[in-house]
Amino acid sequence: MSSNRSRRGDEPVHWPLHLFVIFILILTIYPILWVLAIAFSGSQSLAIADLPAHATALDRLRAIAPWPKHFSAENFRSVFADQPFARWLLNSVVVAAMTTLLGVFLACTSAYAFSRFRFPARRAGLMAFLVSQMFPGTLMLIPLYIIIVKWLGLGSTFTGLVLIYTVTAIPFCVWMMKGYFDTIPKELEESALIDGASQATIFFRIVLPLAKPAVAVTALFSFMTAWNEFIQAATLMDRVDKYTVPVGLRFFVGGFTQQWGYFAAGSIVAAIPVMALFLFLQKYLVSGLTAGAVKG
Amino acid sequence: MAEVTLKGIKKAYGPVTVIPHFDLDIQDHEFMVLVGPSGCGKSTALRMIAGLEEITGGTIEIGGRVVNDVPPKDRDIAMVFQSYALYPHMTVRENMEFGLKIRKTPREEMNRRVNEAAQILGITEFLDRKPKQLSGGQRQRVALGRAIVRKPAVFLFDEPLSNLDAKLRVQTRAEISKLQKTLKTTTVYVTHDQIEAMTMGDRIAVMKTGELQQVGSPLEVYDRPSNLFVAGFIGTPPMNFIPATVTTGGDAVAASGFTLPVPAASRAATAQRTGQKVVLGIRPENIREAPRDPGDAAVPITVKVEFVEPLGHEVIVHGRVGDDLLVAKVEPHRAPKMGEEVRLVIEVEASHLFDTATEKRLGDN
């Protein structure tokens, strides 16, 4: 049927498009393949193959192909056994989970207020959130250090880091959630109000379940903010046992050591939780949950 | 069961007054329809009864209790919204139970009421479905069900039929009427559709730009519209309005193409208005081939037909008498052709006179 159609010429030929997509795909996954190759090479070198003095074309090709000489899980074993990587991973999980919980809770509640209630300085508050996003994070490094370490005495603590990540993530999350709350029909809440629901019941039993897609995105964003952040963590955490994963990874290739194998293995392990979270939240990242509420 | 009383209700949004002064008494068990064009304040009035809008002035009583400061949940009301406002993440059963659960109704009682309501509305088989799996008509029923399981003192309906197609609307209209007659719950029903108002209401309240124009039974409003607005709003096609002058003696009015004796009800009012301009109002159904009763007073006119709309059971004729355009309803099987001249009669006692300046009806109301 389809071959008939293409022979008739009323459908464009697909293979150039496929070639193009394959090319882009290789371009995209090539760096990731390199990381994988280094991680499984069992060595600490950035290069997988050494180029001989008189390299043939095949040697050169081998040097750029992300395929290690030997496969070994030694780097993975070693980051956990010989290095405090498990500890850092745990630290990151604690910080990111706390940031997600606190961030999502604060973002949901404040976004609902911004969406539904009219109060003085509502617009100013929303604008302030937006304006705060204009400044790069590094600009906040010194003021945050002064506030967290000097004033609050929370240097090298998870609480300090969670506080920073939460307030960094909140503006985006609030805007995101507010945008979603705005699309939930007001009649639903009025109907619940007449049904006898309190404001809290309406929020937790009607609005929040309908806002699941937005909550999922917000949670993912908060988690990733905390999980990937390096500069603040590096500044705030001055004890090795308090490092988060990004700071710990940097430790492998900082100063006198060049342990790229550990670095690659560690970054692959670090990527797994985010990927898992993505897959888990995927089913909520669908829109159209409000379909059927009101005639559309 | 309760009566609803609105006394001197005022509603303003900042400097904009949408309802300047509104009085309405709704009897116990009554089906009251608030009708008017969009933007007339009828929905605002309903939402004020529900407690979803604050009132700027006046008092609202439900069952003899002033509810100005009572939150919606404690007013003993249930409301059906135009958009149905079903909770999309809950099944039909959960939707109907929601209000009962919050009021901590015992499980057995809750099941009994939901099943009973579902049976009345014919939605038993959908109880475990989500709203998005239902058609518009079925969602409408669920919204009704959610209101009746609560057994409130007052039902509030905000244009509940506007989202249904024409056939379903007629059917649901009858069902809501029947349901209200069975349950005898005081009902306030908002619509912009005058046919819904006429067919459903025990009484109807016609509103325009935030002001009440007339309250009465459907027939009262139809037979004795208090002013030009009500006369033009109730009835399809709308009433013909023809400028006319009161003749010497005040017992007849002259339009450009005919002279009509003043109907008995307006005679006292026209007696002192010789030579004054008035508006003559005649419904299309009162311009016919012959008077309904041969003894009725009727004035013959000759209509030059400009346009004909056959509806099957009747034919609507647009034509001209003198300088004035007229719409008449005639028998379907003797439909005139365009350009023809037909002889029709105007039923004198069914016509109305209105004051040109005040737009009020001249007569007995």
Question: A195: which chain B residues are within 8 Å (Cβ-Cβ)?
Answer: 73, 98-99, 102, 146, 150
User: Using CA atoms, how far apart are residues B48 and B58, in angstroms rounded to an integer?
Assistant: 11
Sorted by sequence, the CB contacts under 8 Å of residue B13 that are 6+ apart come out as none
Examine the pLDDT at A6 and tell me if it is beyond 50. Answer: no
Query: Does B4 touch chain A if contact means CB atoms closer than 8 Å?
Result: no
Q: Across the interface, do A291 and B132 touch by the CB < 8 Å criterion?
A: yes
Chain A residue with minimum CA distance to B50: A194
Cβ-defined contact of B102 to A196 (cutoff 8 Å): yes
Condensed to tens digits (0 to 9), the pLDDT of residues B306-327 reads 999 998 889 999 999 989 999 9
Contact B73 A292 (CB under 8 A): no
Distance from CA of A215 to the nearest CA of B (A): 15
Contacts of A143 (CB under 8 A, 6+ apart): none
Question: What's the pLDDT score for residue A8?
Answer: 55
B104 to chain A, any CB pair closer than 8 A? The answer is no
Question: Distance from A80 to chain B by nearest Cα, in Å?
Answer: 45
> What is the mean pLDDT of the segment spanning A232-260?
86
Task: Tell whether the model's pLDDT for residue A1 goes beyond 50.
Answer: no
CA B70 to chain A, closest CA, distance in angstroms equals 12
CB B32 within 8 Å of CB B205? yes
Q: Do B88 and A210 touch (CB under 8 A)?
A: yes
Contact flag B84-A197 (C-beta cutoff 8 Å): no
Residue A294 to residue B103, Cβ atoms within 8 A: no
Shortest alpha-carbon distance between residue B87 and chain A (Å): 6
Closest residue to B85, CB basis, from A188, A289, A291: A188
Mean pLDDT over A139-157 rounds to 90
Q: What is the mean pLDDT of residues A105-116?
A: 94
Q: Could you write out the DSSP letters of every residue in B111-123?
A: HHHHHHHHHHHT-
> Average pLDDT in the B101-110 region?
93
- Chain A neighbors of B190, CB-CB under 8 A: none
Residue the block writes with tokens 């039909």 = B92
Residue A289: the pLDDT is 45
CA B27 to CA A38: how far, in whole Å? 84
Q: How far apart are CA A69 and CA A188, in angstroms?
A: 63
Residue of B nearest to A201 (CA): B102
CA-based nearest distance A78→chain B, Å: 49
Q: What is the C-alpha separation between B130 and B260, in angstroms, rounded?
A: 62
Using the predicted structure, report yes or no on whether residue A149 has a pLDDT greater than 50.
yes
Cα separation of B243 and B240, whole Å?
Answer: 10
Is A190 in contact with B52 (Cβ distance < 8 A)? yes
Residue A259 is predicted with a pLDDT of 87
How close A213 comes to chain B (CA, Å)? 13
Which tens digits make up the pLDDT trace of B113-134?
999 999 989 999 999 999 999 9
Structure tokens at B135: 């058609």
Q: Taking the CA atoms of B316, B33, B225 and B232 in sequence, report the sign of the dihedral they define.
A: negative
- A193·B85 Cβ contact <8 A: no
B297 vs B102, which has greater pLDDT? Answer: B102
Residue B336 pLDDT level (bands cut at 50, 70, 90): confident
Mean predicted confidence (pLDDT) in A191-219 = 91
Say what the pLDDT of residue B163 is. Answer: 86
**CB proximity B13 to A under 8 Å:** no
The helix-helix angle for B92-102 and A186-195 (nearest 10°) equals 50
**Chain-chain contact of A292 with B103 (C-beta, under 8 angstroms):** no
What amino acid is encoded at B270 in this protein?
T
Residues A100 and A169: beta-carbon distance below 8 Å:
no
pLDDT of residue B337: 87
Chain A positions in Cβ-Cβ contact with residue B87 (cut-off 8 Å): 188, 191-192, 206, 293
The amino acid sitting at A75 is N
Q: Is B88 left (phi over 0), alpha (psi -120 to 50) or beta?
A: alpha
**What pLDDT sits at residue B33?**
96
What order do you get walking across the sheet with B65-66 strand by strand?
B16-26, B4-13, B57-62, B65-66
Residues of B in contact with A187 (CB under 8 A): 81, 83, 85
Return the SS3 of B48. Answer: helix
Cβ contact (<8 Å) for B139 and A196? no
Q: Say yes or no for a CB contact (<8 Å) between B81 and A196.
A: no
Which of A115, A117, A276 minimizes the C-alpha distance to A180? A115
- Asked if residue B199 has pLDDT above 80, the reply is yes
Residue B300: pLDDT over 50: yes
Whether B79 has its CB under 8 Å from any CB of chain A: the answer is: yes
Taking the C-alpha atoms of residue A184 and residue A288, their distance in angstroms, rounded to an integer, is: 11
Chain A neighbors of B48, CB-CB under 8 A: none
Checking if the pLDDT of A287 tops 70, the result is no
Ordered by where they begin, the domains of chain A are 2-72 (no CATH), 84-284 (1.10.3720.10)
**Binary contact (A195, B131; C-beta < 8 A):** no
Q: Distance (Å, rounded) from C-alpha B285 to C-alpha B347?
A: 9
Q: Do A294 and B84 touch (CB under 8 A)?
A: yes
pLDDT digits (tens, 9 = 90+) for A61-72: 777 778 887 888
Please count the residue pairs, one from chain A and one from chain B, whose beta carbons lie less than 8 angstroms apart: 81
pLDDT exceeds 80 at position B334: no
* Residue A3 reports pLDDT greater than 60: no
Q: Please, what is the average pLDDT of chain B?
A: 92
Lowest mean pLDDT among A96-100, A253-257, B66-70, B343-347: A253-257
For tokens 């952040």, the residue is A229
Beta-carbon separation of B132 and A292 below 8 A: yes
Listed in order, strand segments (DSSP E) in chain B are: 4-13, 16-26, 31-35, 57-62, 65-66, 77-80, 154-158, 186-191, 203-208, 211-216, 240-246, 252-254, 259-261, 277-282, 287-288, 298-310, 315-321, 324-330, 341-347, 352-355
Question: Which residue, A239, A245, A240, is CA-closest to A226?
Answer: A245
Where residue A190 falls among pLDDT bands split at 50, 70, 90? Answer: very high
Q: Please indicate whether, in this complex, the C-beta atoms of B86 and A293 are within 8 angstroms of each other.
A: yes
For residue B135, the Cα-to-chain-centroid distance in whole angstroms is 27
Look up residue B203 and give its two tokens.
């009484």
Look at B85 and A206 and tell me if their CB atoms are within 8 Å. Answer: no
Examine the pLDDT at B236 and tell me if it is beyond 80: yes
pLDDT at residue A4 tops 80: no
In chain B, what percentage of residues exceed pLDDT 90? 78
Give the residue among B30, B62, B28, B42 at the shortest CA–CA distance from B205. Answer: B42
Q: For B123-179, how does the pLDDT look when each residue is reduced to its tens digit (9 = 90+)?
A: 999 999 999 999 988 999 999 999 999 999 999 999 999 888 888 899 999 999 999
In chain A, residues with a C-beta closer than 8 Å to the C-beta of B130 are 292
Q: Which residues contact B28 (CB under 8 A, 6 or more apart)?
A: B1, B2, B3, B186
All domains of chain B in start order, with CATH: 4-232 (3.40.50.300), 238-355 (2.40.50.140)
The whole-number pLDDT of residue A9 equals 60
Nearest to A196 among B73, B84, B86 (CB): B73
Lowest mean pLDDT, pick from A39-48, A70-79, A201-210 = A39-48
Q: State the Cα torsion A40-A43-A45-A49 to the nearest 10°.
A: -70
Q: What is the pLDDT of residue B265?
A: 87
| pLDDT tens-digit readout, A30-40 | 999 989 998 99
pLDDT at A279: 87
> Does B101 contact chain A (CB < 8 Å)?
no
- Mutate one of A194, A206, A210 to test the B interface: name it (highest B CB count within 10 A): A194
A chain contacts of residue B133, beta-carbon cutoff 8 Å: 292
pLDDT in tens, B56-73: 999 999 999 999 999 999
Tokens matching residue B233 = 């709003």
Tens digits of per-residue pLDDT, B244-295?
A: 999 988 889 999 989 999 998 888 888 888 889 999 999 999 998 888 888 7
Separation CA A287–CA A211 (nearest Å): 9
Alpha helices, H only, A82-157: 85-116, 122-132, 141-145
Q: Does B98 touch chain A (CB under 8 A)?
A: yes
Give me the pLDDT at residue B250, please: 84
CB of B168 within 8 Å of a chain A CB? The answer is no
Amino acid letter, residue B127:
L
Inter-chain residue contact A192 with B72, CB threshold 8 Å: no
Which band of pLDDT confidence, cut at 50, 70 and 90, is reported for residue A293? very low
* Mean pLDDT within A140-163: 91
